[in-house]
Amino acid sequence: MTVPSAGRLITVAGIDGAGKSTLAAALHSALNNAGHDAVLIGKHTTEVPADAALSAYLDSLNAIVYRRDQTVGAACGEHYWLFALAAWYSLQDRLVIQPALKAGTHVILDNSHHKIIARYAANPSVPPGLARQVFAHLTSADLVLFLRISPGEALRRKGGFTPLEAGRTGHTGDAFVSYQDDVSARLREQAGQEGWVPIDVTGLTPGSVLDQALASLAPRLGFT
Ligand SMILES: Nc1ncnc2c1ncn2[C@@H]1O[C@H](COP(=O)(O)OP(=O)(O)O)[C@@H](O)[C@H]1O
Ligand SMILES: [Mg+2]
């Protein structure tokens, strides 16, 4: 029996509105069109192949973390949300991502944990380093496409934002910009890690961002 060669884990990092989800979806299509076996995994992917019970369990955890009433957020507190997110990322890694990679399928992960580490690094109510530790066991990405953009341009693209995207510091555009500036600096601190490839997406169309991502990916991952 031949064992398939492991798939590669490709993820996208950047501030809110950098274009991560747009690029992840485009990469998924491009890789499949080029004949690769690739899956797109995001914050609403809860299907564990061939396991209805685990799928149902993962979906119930997803509901707790992502489909909750907005008003319970602040009541539960920063530590609780860090640990709830760590539980979600642990299970998605173990039950969905690792089996896909083992089966030889490439995984494109939208919404990797790096932004959460950056958010918590910008948050003085949680000890520095705690967020890094609770995500340290997750599978390392072979490639992290780091989309660089100013918060002002990200805001123009998005049009609006949620209270969380302004770090619950206010409702004005300035609150979004100053919070995302901080998150951006914390992301840059992580960008020295192996596998991180910065792409300045300022003024680039989605098609040009995809082209740059594919150009970075091909030689690094041995894709043709
Ligand atoms: N290269 C681009 N140029 C202009 N607008 C873009 C580009 N990429 C994405 N957008 C738009 O910007 C907004 C945020 O993109 P999205 O992919 O959701 O960002 P993220 O997932 O990083 O928060 C969306 O409205 C999207 O259609
Ligand atoms: Mg997104």
Instruction: Find all residues with CB under 8 Å of 154, minimum gap 6, and list them.
Output: 15, 16, 17, 18, 180
Per-residue pLDDT at 3? 63
C-beta of residue 141 within 8 angstroms of C-beta of residue 112: yes
Q: In CATH, what number does 9-45+103-221 get?
A: 3.40.50.300
Q: pLDDT at position 2, please?
A: 63
Kindly give the number of the ligand 1 atom that is closest to the alpha carbon of 23.
17
Q: Is the CB of 170 under 6 A from ligand 1?
A: no
∠ CA 19-87-75, nearest 5°, is 85
Lowest model confidence (mean pLDDT) among 49-63, 69-83, 178-192: 69-83
Q: Is the CB of 18 under 6 A from ligand 1?
A: yes
pLDDT cut 90: percent of the chain above it: 88
Lowest mean pLDDT across 10-14, 197-201, 215-219, 220-224: 220-224
Among 2-11, 118-127, 146-155, the least confident range:
2-11
Q: Atom 12 of ligand 1 has which residue's CA nearest to it?
A: 157
Output the pLDDT for position 1.
60
Q: 156 CA to middle of ligand 1, Å?
A: 10
Tell me, using a 6 A CB cutoff, whether residue 165 lines ligand 1: no
Q: Looking at residue 49, what is its pLDDT?
A: 93
Q: pLDDT tens, 30-39? A: 999 999 999 9
pLDDT value of position 128: 83
Reference 20, options 108, 84, 96; nearest CA is 108
Dihedral sign for Cα 220, 184, 134, 161, please. negative
Which residue lies with its CA nearest to atom 3 of ligand 1?
A: 205
Distance from Cα 206 to the centre of ligand 1, integer Å: 8
Candidate of 12, 22, 148 to mutate for ligand 1, largest count of ligand atoms within 8 Å of Cβ: 22
Mean of pLDDT over the chain: 95
**Average pLDDT, integer, range 202-210:** 98
Mean pLDDT value of segment 205-213:
98
Report how far ligand 2's centroid is from the alpha carbon of 19 (Å): 7
Per-residue pLDDT, averaged over 50-77, amounts to 94
Asked if pLDDT for residue 108 goes beyond 70, the answer is: yes
pLDDT tens by residue, 137-150: 999 999 999 999 99
| Helix H or strand E encompassing 134 | helix 130-134
Please say if the pLDDT value at position 213 is more than 90. Answer: yes
Dist. CA 145 → ligand 1 center (Å): 15
Q: How many residues does the chain have?
A: 224
